[in-house]
Amino acid sequence: MQTKLMWKMGAVFGLCLLAIVPLTLVQGVINERQALRDGVIRGFESQTVGPQILKGPVLVVPYRKVVIETTHEDRGGKTVDVPRKKIVTGSLFFLPETVAMNGKAVPQERRRGIYRAQAYTGDWEIKGRFELPADFGVGVERLQYTWGTPEIHFGIMDPRGLAPGIELKWDGVAAVMEPGSGLAGLGRGIHAAVDVGKPGVGKAQSVEFEVHMGLTGLSRVQFLPTGRASEVRLSSAWPHPGFSGPLLAEHRIDGNGFRATWKTSHLANNLLQEYAGCFEASRCDGFNAAAFGVDLVEPVNLYQQLERSAKYGLLFVGLTFIAFFLFDVLKQCPIHPVQYALVGGALVIFYLLLISLAEHIAFGLAYLIAAGACIALIGYYIAHVLGSWQRGTLMGAMLAVLYGVLFVILRSEDNALLMGSILLFAFIAAIMVGTRKVDWYGLGSPMPAS
């Protein structure tokens, strides 16, 4: 009889291992659906607008410089120095002394079929001040320079999100914004020709600017203000921000959304030197790495929850089979391996029901429907297999507790591992306590003669 018991234990264990195959297929379905959803998001980005990074500003002053070069020529057996004029063209760049960005992102849901993404639109205000040195800092060589028209540049990652009617005031005078930037480090964006006058000897300038623009983006907005002292303020009604970048935000999150403030200076980010390398040698990695911002994220997205739930599939099958096995050997209610397999199949089907329903209705409601259907089916089946509605109800109640605890784990952002560990420990402890007096060697042995 002990041999029969060991064979049955082996069969149950083998069925648990076989359950890995359909559970792996379920994981593949989840990954496939997530890949399809990610493709839709990329379609949003390519056909409408993508995440945004707002950079700048940078003031660029083009110049033509007369350079005297001396060449050596052989004239009548003598080497003489011959001066020649050469025109060199280039540009100087200047970063602002202060930059203050202020924006409000209004969330907007984008849908395509059953898939959705979080977009935003909002008004953005950028203010600041440039401190320009006399003669743009060229000093005694000023007579060699002829200055071109200065331009102020802003980098916009995806200019398709810009609304019409961008307003720029330079030293109180309106200027016309034009598309394109093209500066190293800024990439695509906008620019405007501005008037800085003709600084004389020893005449420095302080110029204030102000920009108002509407900007739409998808999922993420980041900032890279170039001021020696910079401040960014952002507010939104989205309740689940995900802050990113090397700069820590002072933020407040409540039922009305979030408000965040970032403050930095050139002493902390070394941005002037980083941009110099970017402007002069196109080494822009260090400059771009200083960007910071926020993502409009879902706290636990649908496919992350589905994937996490499927990871607990083997646990569900194993615990249910253990309960079956205990009824089998302790209550002398023989259960055929085919009946184990049918119950295991119902447990696996739960995940396919959950995936298909959750893509159309709220995850909580989908979970309730899928779990309720599986609990009712398995409870009904077990009541007939074990010949007792009481035992079927007990098994259904156990599954209801399992599904309930799993749901709480899935909805938790920070405590999923802790709660999962507690769940495992609680069920192992329950089995150990419930079977502490079982004589496993005596199970299946014939009763002694009276």
Q: How far is CA 15 from CA 318, 385, 436, in A?
A: 9, 18, 25
Structure tokens at 273: 């030197």
Helix, strand or coil for residue 17? helix
Per-residue pLDDT of the chain (450 residues; tens, 9 = 90+): 456 666 666 776 777 777 778 778 877 787 787 777 777 767 766 677 888 999 989 999 999 988 877 777 766 667 767 677 888 888 899 999 999 999 999 988 877 766 777 889 988 999 999 999 888 888 777 778 888 889 999 999 989 899 988 999 999 899 999 888 778 888 889 999 998 876 555 678 899 999 999 999 888 899 999 999 999 999 999 988 989 888 888 999 988 899 999 998 887 788 888 888 888 888 888 888 999 999 987 765 677 777 777 777 777 777 777 777 777 666 666 677 787 788 888 888 888 888 888 878 888 888 899 889 988 988 888 888 777 788 778 878 888 888 887 788 777 656 667 777 777 788 778 778 877 776 766 655 554 544
H-type helices in 201-284, by residue range? 266-269, 271-281
Residues with Cβ within 8 Å of 300's Cβ and at least 6 positions away in sequence, in order, are 308, 410, 411, 412, 413
Would you tell me how many other CB atoms lie within 10 Å of the CB of residue 430? 12
Domain positions in the chain: 2-38+302-434, 49-296
The pLDDT value given to residue 94: 93
pTM recorded for the entire structure: 0.70
- Per-residue confidence (pLDDT) for residue 301, from 0 to 100: 67
Q: Is 394 in contact with 386 (CB distance < 8 Å)?
A: no
> Cα-Cα-Cα-Cα dihedral of 135, 188, 165, 197, to 10°?
10
Q: Is 189 left (phi over 0), alpha (psi -120 to 50) or beta?
A: left
**Nearest one of 141, 55, 136 to 94, comparing CA atoms:** 136
- The pLDDT score that the predictor gives to residue 207 is 92
Structure tokens at 146: 């002829």
